[in-house]
C-alpha cells in the first residue's frame, strides 16, 4: 500500500484542522410535488426499513437521478437532517444531493445515481477472480479518506462509516467511491465531545462506547473498513453484539493468517495506527 495510503493519515482530526463552515447550500429546496418534476421508476437501487432508493428521470433535462424516499412518520426528521448535512457538502467522493421534496407521507432526496453497487461486493467479486490487490485497495481507500477528511474540515462527523455505505459510481473498473447514508451524521466542535452512542457494533470506536468522542470516531471506523478490504474479515468479532463490543473495547488487532501474508508492513502499520 505504501505512501499512497500512509500519506492520508493526515485525515485524522486529532491534529485539529481549521473547520471551514459554508454559509450556502449546494442543493435546491422544493415546495412542489416530486411527480411534477421527475418520472420516478419502479427500478429500485436500494432499500431500507422505512423507504427505498429509486431511479428517476428529470422530465425537462432527462438527467437520471436516484430518489431516496423516507417515511415522514418513521424517520422524516432524520431525512430532513440528512438533507441539511448533504446540502453543506460538495466532494467527488460524497454522494451529491441535487434537491429535496416533501409531501404528507414522505421526504424525497434527489441524489446522483450510482449503479456500481457496494464497494464490498466489488472487493468480494475481484477477490474470487484473484484480481483484488493491495494497490487496488489503496486506490479505493484513498478516496474514502479524502471524503472523510473533507467532512471533518467542514465540521461534520459521519458516525456510520462501514463498507455498506461506500458505493461505486458505476460498474466500470475505474468507478469512483461515493460515501452515502448521512442519517447518523452530525456537526461537531473541537473541544466539545459528542456523547450519543451511534453506530454499528463491528465499526464503533471504544470512545463511543465510553460516551465521549469526536471526529476521530470516523478514523477508527475507516480502519475497520481497511482491515476488511485487505483481509476479507473484520478485526473485532463475537457471537453477538455484546461480545463484539467487548472485543472492540479490548482493541486487540491481529494480522495472522494466509490473507495477511501478502500485505505490506506499511499497510498493516496504517491499520494499526487507525485502530489505536
Beta carbons of 216 and 275 less than 8 angstroms apart: no
Active-site annotation holder among 160, 170, 218, 266 = 160
- At residue 24, the pLDDT reads 45
Q: What residue numbers does the annotated binding site cover?
A: 68
**What's the rounded Cα separation, in Å, for the pair 23 and 43?**
36
Each residue of 55-74: b (16+ CB within 10 Å) or e?
bbeeeeeeeebbbbbbebee
**What's the rounded Cα separation, in Å, for the pair 108 and 99?**
8
256: alpha, beta or left? (left if phi > 0; alpha if psi -120 to 50): beta
Residue 91, C-alpha cell as written in the block = 466532494
Going by C-alpha positions, the residue among 20, 40, 274 that lies closest to residue 141 is 274
Q: What residue numbers does the annotated binding site for ATP cover?
A: 68
φ, ψ for residue 184, nearest 5 deg: -95, -5
Residue 207, C-alpha cell as written in the block = 470512545
DSSP assigned state of 13 = G
HEC states along 172-200?
CCCCCEEECCCCCCEECECCECECCCCCC
**What's the rounded Cα separation, in Å, for the pair 191 and 153?**
15
**Cβ neighbours of 42 (radius 10 Å):** 7
Going by C-alpha positions, the residue among 92, 70, 91 that lies closest to residue 81 is 70
Q: Check: CATH 3.30.200.20 for 28-112?
A: yes
- At residue 25, the pLDDT reads 57
Going by C-alpha positions, the residue among 133, 124, 142, 130 that lies closest to residue 263 is 133
Fold of the domain spanning 3-17+116-274:
Transferase(Phosphotransferase); domain 1 (1.10.510)
> The pTM is what?
0.85
- At residue 30, the pLDDT reads 72
Using N-to-C axis directions, what is the helix angle for 134-153 and 119-128, rounded to 10°?
Answer: 170
**What's the rounded Cα separation, in Å, for the pair 156 and 91?**
13
Helix (H) or strand (E) holding 51: strand 51-58
For residue 63, give Cα distances in angstroms to 5, 20, 56, 111, 200: 35, 31, 8, 11, 35
- At residue 26, the pLDDT reads 60
Concerning whether 39 is annotated as a catalytic residue, the answer is no
What is the residue extent of each domain of the chain?
Answer: 3-17+116-274, 28-112
- At residue 111, the pLDDT reads 96
pLDDT by residue for the chain (276 residues), tens only, comes to: 433 343 333 334 444 444 434 444 566 667 779 999 999 998 888 876 567 899 999 999 999 999 999 888 766 578 888 999 999 999 999 999 999 999 888 899 999 999 999 998 998 888 877 778 999 999 999 999 999 999 999 999 999 999 999 999 999 989 999 999 999 999 999 999 999 999 999 999 999 999 999 999 999 999 999 999 999 999 999 999 999 999 999 999 999 999 999 999 999 999 999 999
Amino acid at each position: 500500500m505504501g505512501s499512497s495510503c500512509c500519506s492520508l493519515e493526515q485525515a485524522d482530526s486529532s491534529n485539529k484542522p481549521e473547520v471551514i463552515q459554508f454559509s450556502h447550500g449546494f442543493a435546491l429546496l422544493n415546495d412542489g410535488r416530486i411527480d411534477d418534476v421527475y418520472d420516478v421508476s419502479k427500478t429500485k437501487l436500494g432499500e431500507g426499513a422505512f423507504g427505498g432508493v429509486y431511479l428517476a428521470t428529470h422530465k425537462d433535462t432527462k438527467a437520471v437521478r436516484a430518489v431516496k424516499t423516507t417515511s415522514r412518520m418513521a424517520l422524516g426528521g432524520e431525512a430532513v437532517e440528512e438533507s441539511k448535512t448533504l446540502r453543506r457538502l460538495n466532494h467527488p467522493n460524497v454522494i451529491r444531493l441535487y434537491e429535496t421534496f416533501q409531501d404528507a407521507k414522505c421526504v424525497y432526496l434527489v441524489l446522483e445515481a450510482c449503479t456500481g453497487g457496494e464497494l464490498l461486493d466489488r472487493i468480494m467479486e475481484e477477490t474470487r477472480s484473484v484480481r483484488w490487490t493491495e494497490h487496488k485497495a489503496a486506490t479505493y481507500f484513498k478516496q474514502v479518506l479524502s471524503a472523510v477528511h473533507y467532512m471533518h474540515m467542514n465540521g461534520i462527523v459521519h458516525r456510520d462509516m462501514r463498507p455498506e455505505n461506500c458505493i461505486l459510481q458505476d460498474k466500470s473498473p475505474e468507478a469512483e467511491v461515493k460515501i452515502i447514508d448521512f442519517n447518523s451524521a452530525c456537526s461537531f466542535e473541537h473541544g466539545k465531545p459528542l456523547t450519543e452512542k451511534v453506530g454499528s457494533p463491528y465499526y464503533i470506536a471504544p470512545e463511543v462506547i465510553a460516551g465521549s468522542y469526536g471526529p476521530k470516531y470516523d478514523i477508527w471506523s475507516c480502519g475497520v473498513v481497511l482491515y476488511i478490504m485487505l483481509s476479507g474479515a473484520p478485526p473485532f468479532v463475537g457471537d453477538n453484539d455484546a461480545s463484539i463490543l467487548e472485543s472492540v473495547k479490548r482493541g486487540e488487532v491481529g494480522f495472522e493468517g494466509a490473507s495477511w501474508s501478502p500485505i505490506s508492513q506499511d499497510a498493516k502499520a496504517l491499520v494499526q495506527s487507525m485502530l489505536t
